[in-house]
C-alpha cells in the first residue's frame, strides 16, 4: 500500500473501488473505507482520537492501562488493533447480549437492506407495527403502546414527557447514583456528575432519594406532586446494588396510591439478562412505563423503545405528531429488533442463560472464598453481576489486570469499588470456564497491586468551575 495517506490523517491509503459499481454491489465503496480503517496503526487512531474526538476520554483509558482500540470483533471476542484478543464482559451495558456481529442478526439486516432503508417516521410501517406488537405482547404492559427511539436516553426522555402529560405534574423522583442516559431530561434524572457540567441539574424538577430506602421514597411522594418515579431495576453505573426483597413492589404500590406513574428503566437489566425477559417482573411489578434499548439493537442497528401504559399513551390518540424521532423505529432497526427479541426468547437461549447463571454463581463464589478480604461482595441477579472489592478503587485494579489477561470488564463509574461483570447470553461452557480462570488470576494479582501501593490514574477530569 505504500506510504501514502488518504483523506484522514493517519489512515493508510488503499486501492479505491470504482464508485460506478455501487449500484450493483453496495459493498464496493464501503469496503474501501473499511479496509482503510482496519489498516490504521493503533497509535495513529489514539492520536487522531485525542486531536479530533475526545481528548479526556482517550487519555483516561491510556493512562489507566487499558488503551483499547477495537478492530475485528466476533462473538464475545474483541481483537485490538495491536493484535490483542479480549473476552468482552462489558458488552456496552448489554448491547452485545447476543455477541458481536451475531450471524443471525447480521443475516437479517443484510436481507432487509435488499429491500429497506431507514424509512419515513411519519407513516405506518411493517417493522414498527410488528416490533411494537412483539414488545407489548411479551411484556408486563399488555394494553400498552410503543414509541421508538435510537438510544436509551431518548427513550427515557419520552417516558418522562409522557408521565407529565398523563398526570399534569412536573416533578420526577429518581434514585441517588442513577444513570438514565445523557439527553436532556434523562441526564437531569441521573447522577449530578453528568448534569452539573452542562447546567442541567434542574433541582426544582428532579428529587433524588437513596435506592432501597422506602422511608425516603414515602417522604418524597408525600412532599411533592410527582409525575413519576423513575428507577433502574438494578442501578448499573452505581455498581449493581440489588433491590431489597419487596422494595420495588412497595414503591409501585406507593406510586399507585399517590397517582404517580412508575417508570421501569430496563435498558441494562432487560432482554433476558436476569433469566427473565424483563427483570422488573421478577419483583411482581407491573410498571406504567417500561424503557428498553441497548440489547434490542442486537449490537448491529440502534433502536430503543418506550412501552407506555394507557394513561401515558393517551397523547398518541390526541396528537401523534407531538413527539417525532427521524431515526427512531427505523425500518432497519425494527427488523433487527424483531430478530433480537426472537433469539432472546428461544427456549435454547433461556436454557443457556440458566446454565451460565449456575456456572458463574459457582465460579465467582469460589473466587470470593479464595479472596475473602478482597472480593467482599457478589451482587448478582442472573448474568447481571457486580463484584465489590475492599478498596475505594478496587475494581479499577481488577479491570486493569483483566485487560492484561485478555478480558475487558469495566468498573462502575459512580462506585469504582465495584466491577461490572456481564457475561453474554450465548457464552459457551468452554469460554465460561476460561473466563473464570482468568478472573481468578486477575482478582489475586489486583489484590497484590492495591496492597503494594500501585498508583492509578485519576478517575476523571476535574469538575467544571
Do 302 and 364 lie in one domain? The reply is no
For residue 460, what pLDDT is reported?
58
Question: Considering only 344-348, 355-359, 372-376, 449-453, which range has the smallest mean pLDDT?
Answer: 449-453
Q: Is residue 318 part of a domain?
A: yes
pLDDT confidence tier of residue 30, bands split at 50, 70 and 90 = low
Is pLDDT at 7 greater than 80 in this prediction?
no
Number of separate domains in the chain: 2
- The enclosing domain of 464 has a CATH number of 3.90.1150.10
Determine the Cα–Cα distance for residues 248 and 260; give it in Å rounded to an integer.
Answer: 14
pLDDT confidence tier of residue 459, bands split at 50, 70 and 90 = low
Q: Is residue 86 part of a domain?
A: yes
The mean pLDDT of 308-333, rounded to a whole number, is 96
| Final residue in a domain of this structure, among 345, 371, 394 | 345
Do 237 and 296 lie in one domain? The reply is yes
Q: Is residue 43 part of a domain?
A: no
Do 185 and 118 lie in one domain? The reply is yes
For residue 16, what pLDDT is reported?
38
For residue 15, what pLDDT is reported?
40
CA angle 334, 335, 336 (to 5 degrees): 90
Rounded mean pLDDT of the chain? 92
The mean pLDDT of 119-146, rounded to a whole number, is 97
Query: Among residues of the chain, what percentage have pLDDT more than 90?
Result: 89
For residue 9, what pLDDT is reported?
33
| Final residue in a domain of this structure, among 317, 345, 373 | 345
- Give 462's contacts (C-beta < 8 A, 6+ positions apart): none
How many angstroms from the chain centroid is the CA of residue 339? Answer: 19
In this structure, the chain runs to a length of 465
pLDDT confidence tier of residue 458, bands split at 50, 70 and 90 = confident
- pLDDT tens digits for range 151-205: 999 999 999 999 999 999 999 999 999 999 999 999 999 998 889 999 999 999 9
Do 184 and 295 lie in one domain? The reply is yes
Do 301 and 372 lie in one domain? The reply is no
- pLDDT tens digits for range 33-84: 999 999 999 999 999 999 999 999 999 999 999 999 999 999 999 999 999 9
pLDDT confidence tier of residue 362, bands split at 50, 70 and 90 = very high
Do 220 and 363 lie in one domain? The reply is no
CA angle 412, 408, 462 (to 5 degrees): 40
The residue among 19 and 324 whose pLDDT is bigger is: 324
Determine the Cα–Cα distance for residues 460 and 465; give it in Å rounded to an integer.
Answer: 15
Determine the Cα–Cα distance for residues 436 and 425; give it in Å rounded to an integer.
Answer: 16
Q: Is residue 157 part of a domain?
A: yes
pLDDT confidence tier of residue 236, bands split at 50, 70 and 90 = very high
Determine the Cα–Cα distance for residues 96 and 425; give it in Å rounded to an integer.
Answer: 9
Determine the Cα–Cα distance for residues 428 and 36; give it in Å rounded to an integer.
Answer: 33
Instruction: Kindly compute the dihedral angle of the four CA atoms of residues 217, 289, 340, 356, in this order, to the nearest 10 degrees.
Output: 30
Q: Which of 372, 377, 374 is nearest to 387 (CA)?
A: 377
| Final residue in a domain of this structure, among 345, 368, 390 | 345
For residue 32, what pLDDT is reported?
87
Q: Is residue 305 part of a domain?
A: yes
H/E/C letters for each residue in the chain?
CCCCECCCCCCECCCCCCHHHHHCCCHHHHHHHHHHHHCCCHHHHHHHHHHHHCHHHHHHHHHCCCCCCEEEEEECEEEECCCCEEEECCHHHHCCCCCECCHHHHHHHHHHHCCCCCCCCCCCCHHHHHHHHHHHHHCCCCCCEEEEECCHHHHHHHHHHHHHHHHCCCEEEEECCCCCCCCHHHHHHCCHHHHHCCCCCCCCCEEEECCCCHHHHHHHHHHCCEEEEEEECCCCCCCCCCCCCCHHHHHHHHHHHHCCEEEEECCCCCCCCCCCCCHHHHHCCCCCEEEECHHHHCCCCCCEEEEECCCCCHHHHHCCCCCCCCCCCCHHHHHHHHHHHHHHHCHHHHHHHHHHHHHHHHHHHHHHHHCCCCEEEEEEECCEEEEEECCCCHHHHHHHHHHHCCEECCEECCEEEEEEECCCCCCCHHHHHHHHHHHHHHHHHHHHHHHCCCCCCCCCCCCCC
Please identify which residue in the block is written with the cell numbers 473464570.
436
The mean pLDDT of 439-452, rounded to a whole number, is 97
Is pLDDT at 6 greater than 50 in this prediction?
no
Determine the Cα–Cα distance for residues 392 and 225; give it in Å rounded to an integer.
Answer: 37
Domain that includes residue 89, residue range: 68-101+347-465
Do 212 and 284 lie in one domain? The reply is yes
The mean pLDDT of 119-136, rounded to a whole number, is 96
For residue 266, what pLDDT is reported?
98
Do 260 and 223 lie in one domain? The reply is yes
- pLDDT tens digits for range 249-270: 999 999 999 999 999 999 999 9
Is pLDDT at 27 greater than 80 in this prediction?
no
Q: Is residue 173 part of a domain?
A: yes
For residue 316, what pLDDT is reported?
97
Q: Is residue 75 part of a domain?
A: yes
Do 218 and 331 lie in one domain? The reply is yes
- Give 442's contacts (C-beta < 8 A, 6+ positions apart): 398, 401, 402, 404, 405, 407
Do 219 and 261 lie in one domain? The reply is yes
H/E/C letters for each residue in 272-283?
CCCCCCCHHHHH
Instruction: Kindly compute the dihedral angle of the four CA atoms of residues 296, 298, 299, 300, in this order, to the nearest 10 degrees.
Output: -110
Determine the Cα–Cα distance for residues 254 and 238; give it in Å rounded to an integer.
Answer: 24
Q: Which of 436, 354, 323 is nearest to 87 (CA)?
A: 436
Cβ atoms within 10 Å, residue 65: 14
Q: Is residue 411 part of a domain?
A: yes
Amino acid at each position: 500500500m505504500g506510504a501514502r495517506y488518504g483523506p484522514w490523517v493517519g489512515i493508510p491509503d488503499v486501492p479505491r473501488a470504482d464508485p460506478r459499481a455501487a449500484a450493483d454491489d453496495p459493498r464496493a465503496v464501503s469496503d474501501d473505507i473499511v479496509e482503510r480503517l482496519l489498516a490504521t496503526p493503533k497509535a495513529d487512531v489514539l492520536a487522531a482520537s485525542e486531536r479530533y474526538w475526545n481528548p479526556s476520554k482517550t487519555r483516561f483509558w491510556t493512562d489507566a492501562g487499558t488503551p483499547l482500540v477495537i478492530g475485528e470483533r466476533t462473538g464475545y471476542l474483541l481483537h485490538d488493533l495491536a493484535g490483542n484478543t479480549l473476552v468482552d464482559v462489558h458488552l456496552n451495558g448489554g448491547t452485545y447480549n447476543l455477541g458481536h456481529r451475531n450471524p443471525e442478526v447480521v443475516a437479517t439486516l443484510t436481507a432487509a437492506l435488499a429491500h429497506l432503508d431507514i424509512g419515513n417516521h411519519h407513516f405506518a410501517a411493517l417493522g414498527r407495527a410488528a416490533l411494537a406488537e412483539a414488545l407489548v405482547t411479551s411484556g408486563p404492559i399488555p394494553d400498552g403502546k410503543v414509541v421508538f427511539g435510537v438510544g436509551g436516553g431518548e427513550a427515557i426522555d419520552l417516558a418522562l414527557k409522557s408521565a407529565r402529560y398523563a398526570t399534569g405534574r412536573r416533578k420526577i423522583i429518581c434514585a441517588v447514583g442513577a444513570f438514565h442516559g445523557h439527553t436532556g431530561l434523562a441526564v437531569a434524572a441521573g447522577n449530578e456528575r453528568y448534569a452539573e457540567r452542562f447546567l442541567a441539574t434542574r433541582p426544582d424538577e428532579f428529587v433524588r432519594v437513596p435506592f432501597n430506602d422506602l422511608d425516603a421514597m414515602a417522604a418524597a411522594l408525600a412532599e411533592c406532586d410527582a409525575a413519576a418515579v423513575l428507577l433502574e431495576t438494578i442501578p448499573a453505573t452505581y455498581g449493581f446494588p440489588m433491590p431489597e426483597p419487596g422494595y420495588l413492589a412497595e414503591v409501585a404500590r406507593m406510586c399507585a396510591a399517590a397517582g404517580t406513574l412508575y417508570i421501569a428503566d430496563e435498558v441494562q437489566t432487560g432482554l433476558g439478562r436476569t433469566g427473565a425477559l424483563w427483570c422488573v417482573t421478577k419483583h411482581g411489578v407491573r410498571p406504567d412505563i417500561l424503557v428498553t434499548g441497548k440489547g434490542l439493537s442486537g449490537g448491529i442497528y440502534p433502536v430503543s423503545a418506550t412501552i407506555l401504559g394507557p394513561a401515558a399513551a393517551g397523547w398518541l390518540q390526541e396528537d401523534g405528531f407531538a413527539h417525532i424521532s427521524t431515526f427512531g423505529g427505523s425500518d432497519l432497526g425494527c427488523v433487527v429488533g424483531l430478530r433480537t427479541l426472537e433469539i432472546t426468547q428461544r427456549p435454547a437461549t433461556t436454557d443457556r442463560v440458566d446454565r451460565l447463571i449456575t456456572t458463574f454463581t459457582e465460579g465467582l463464589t469460589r473466587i470470593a472464598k479464595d479472596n475473602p478480604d478482597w472480593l467482599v461482595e457478589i451482587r448478582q441477579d442472573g448474568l447481571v453481576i457486580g463484584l465489590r472489592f475492599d478498596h475505594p478503587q478496587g475494581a479499577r485494579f481488577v479491570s486493569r489486570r483483566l485487560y492484561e489477561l485478555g478480558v475487558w470488564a469495566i468498573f462502575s463509574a459512580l462506585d469504582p469499588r465495584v466491577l461490572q461483570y456481564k457475561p453474554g447470553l450465548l457464552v459457551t461452557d468452554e469460554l465460561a470456564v476460561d473466563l473464570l480462570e482468568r478472573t481468578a488470576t486477575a482478582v489475586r494479582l489486583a489484590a497484590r497491586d492495591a496492597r503494594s501501593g500501585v498508583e492509578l490514574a485519576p478517575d476523571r477530569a476535574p469538575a467544571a468551575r
